[in-house]
Amino acid sequence: MLVPKHKRAVASLRGNTVPCLLWMLLLWSGDSGCQAQRAGCKTVHYDLVFLLDTSSSVGQVDFEKVQQWVANLVDTFEVGADHTRVGVVRYSDQPTTAFELGHFRSREAVKAAARRLAYHGGNTNTGDALRYITRHSFSPQAGGRPGDRAFKQVVILLTDGRSQDLVLDAAAAAHRAGIRIFAVGVGEALKEELEEIASEPKSAHIFHVSDFNAIDKIRGKLRRRLCENVLCPSVRVEGDRFKHINGGTKEITGFDLMDLFSVKEILGKRENGAQSSYVRMGAFPVVQRTEDVFPQGLPDEYAFVTTFRFRKTSRKEDWYIWQVIDQYGIPQVSIRLDGENKAVEYNAVGAMKDAVRVVFRGPLVNDLFDRDWHKIALSIQAQNVSLYVDCALGADAAHRGEGEHRHPGEDCDRQAPL
């Protein structure tokens, strides 16, 4: 779902309710099905270079699988002179350019060229290959657009073994040049070496599969990761915000809405001027333009996370914890807590103006209204919405667009990590 810039993102609690919000975080939902394409990704374009290991350990048969994998990935991009440009560099003893960025101006032409890539054989000199693409592959002479920040410089490196030269300094130079590197390891590829090559955060830029038969299984996830840092920036959060992180800080992809809405600055100061660890919000809505919160729009799939506590007087009230409304005041996305009926409700308007309404009820949802602190997370994906309460899966609801879907949460005892 792309939220136009003229709409407003609202953290609004309607009526006379006064719950306490500790924090709100909008996360990119990165583990959904491979067929789910985010609308936002279609608006992001790249200078994209595939850096392919063609050493002797790969072999001709497996390299043919690599050719098809590249063609399949290219099929998910809008290729053109003013959109995504694709180049391919092969390497073994030395790197060679198969075709430069922008040489082919259509998706079908790039796919056909990928299927014709020649296999070389030889040693695995990954460090030399990284230095080569940094110096040459993104230059204007090679069809790159280094001066235009609208086009991200991305490398997808695929290798099946240990490099026979050093990679750390070469990868660091590429990172300093603004090149984002995804490292895909096959079989015996070393995890430590992939970590030296890949961009930060490492968890979002490293993929590993057992053999070449499995590389196409990661295609959907890799495609999504390509655009998530463009739509959703990296943020650092304190470890105690997450049950599975013990202290410290962690870099994740998402939006810290408490920060973007300046909630603490507006509502969270104590009487002595010190910052409180939580904020209290009532009928007063906190409003920001979506172009300030989501500059590239709201992705189709995401997770909304917040920790809160009801006051005694608000447990039977009806309030919205978050909304995106258009210029006419019509809600486009909303998350509603229904105190009277002990329910959590998600509403959205799709790109085709179809309405989605999902209502969650059940024992775990009932716990939200007991005046204790609770964390909820709504995971919104292409075909379903999942509700987590205190890191336990309360319900998992398929949606098909228009209409209402009620889910009693019979499977609330099924534990699942957030």
CATH number at 52 reads: 3.40.50.410
Total domain count for the chain? 2
Nearest Cα to Cα of residue 86 among 67, 72, 105: 105
Say whether both 149 and 60 belong to one domain.
Answer: yes
Tell me the percentage of the chain whose pLDDT exceeds 70: 63
222 with 237, same domain: the answer is no
Question: pLDDT: is 101 or 26 the higher one?
Answer: 101
pLDDT at 61 over 80: yes
Residues 115 and 143 both lie in one domain: yes
Please indicate, yes or no, whether residues 52 and 129 belong to a single structural domain of this protein.
yes
Q: Report which residue type is found at 361.
A: R
Domain that holds residue 329: 8-19+233-407
Indicate if 184 and 263 belong to the same structural domain.
no
Which residue has better confidence, 352 or 360? 360
Q: pLDDT-based confidence at 194, cuts 50/70/90?
A: very high
- Residue type at position 114: A
Domain identity same for 244 and 214:
no
352 with 391, same domain? yes
End-to-end CA distance of the chain: give it in Å, rounded. 22
Amino acid identity, position 204: A
Answer with the one of 230, 252, 281 that is the final residue of a domain: 230
Q: What is the per-residue pLDDT for 275?
A: 44
What pLDDT score does 50 carry? Answer: 98
The answer on pLDDT for 172 being more than 70 is yes
Helix axis angle, 219-231 relative to 60-74, nearest 10°? Answer: 40
* Chosen domain end from 230, 247, 267: 230
> Each residue of 90-107: pLDDT tens digit?
999 999 999 999 899 999
Whether 78 and 184 share a structural domain: yes
Query: Mean pLDDT throughout 377-394?
Result: 79
Whether 137 shows a pLDDT value over 80: the answer reads yes
Question: What CA–CA distance (Å, rounded) separates 376 from 307?
Answer: 6
Could you tell me which residues come within 8 angstroms of residue 293 by beta carbon, excluding any fewer than 6 positions away?
A: 9, 255, 257, 260, 261
Average pLDDT, the chain: 75
CB 176 within 8 A of CB 138: no
Name the more confident of 146 and 398.
146
Greatest mean pLDDT among 1-10, 246-255, 331-340: 331-340
Q: What percent of the chain has pLDDT over 90?
A: 36
In a domain, 152, yes or no: yes
Confidence at residue 9, expressed as pLDDT on a 0 to 100 scale: 46
Per-residue pLDDT, 257? 62
Instruction: Give pLDDT, residue 397.
Output: 57
Do residues 190 and 111 share a domain?
A: yes
> Tens digits of per-residue pLDDT, 237-246?
555 444 444 4
Same domain, 146 and 210: yes
210 in the same domain as 326: no
**Does the pTM exceed 0.75?**
no
169 domain-assigned = yes
Domain boundary pick from 230, 264, 281: 230
Is residue 133 over pLDDT 90? yes
